[in-house]
Amino acid sequence: MVAALAKAIGTLPEELRRSLTWDQGKEMARHKSFTIATDLQVYFCDPRSPWQRGSNENTNGLLRQYFPRSTNLSQVSQDQLDAVALQLNQRPRKTLNFETPADRLQKVLQ
């Protein structure tokens, strides 16, 4: 998990690599290794406090429209994941003043 996340984070522009907020899941048990590998500080939400990661929780709900809880993600192709990501990144969000995440990213990168 740490290696894959570090690799993905490394592809982001520096403006988007300030910190990472995570829940209390065991996936980030090696968060210190991640911080050393990426120079990115990891912050953890308080237990049972999903509102501290509101945008993430909203995105999880959107993802459930494509991949219900019972979905075996090892059976989902990278092409399928990319297609869902494209759809979600082109979907306007109230929290972004009804801009799409793709539009907002473009503004950051300009």
Domain assignment of residue 49, yes or no? no
pLDDT at 5: 86
Residue type, 57: E
Q: What is the pTM of this model?
A: 0.73
Q: Are residues 97 and 69 in the same domain?
A: yes
pLDDT-based confidence at residue 46 (cuts at 50, 70, 90) = confident
Q: Are residues 31 and 12 in the same domain?
A: yes
Distance CA 83, CA 61 (A): 17
Give the best-scoring range by mean pLDDT among 12-21, 26-35, 42-51, 73-82. Answer: 73-82
Q: What is the residue range of 78's domain?
A: 54-109
Q: Are residues 19 and 60 in the same domain?
A: no
71: number of CA atoms within 13 Å, CB side? 14
Q: Are residues 60 and 93 in the same domain?
A: yes
Q: Count of domains in the chain? A: 2
Question: E-strand spans in the chain?
Answer: 19-22, 41-44
Q: Are residues 60 and 21 in the same domain?
A: no
pLDDT tens digits along 48-103: 888 888 888 888 899 999 999 999 999 999 999 999 999 999 999 998 999 999 99
Residue type, 72: N
Q: Are residues 24 and 68 in the same domain?
A: no
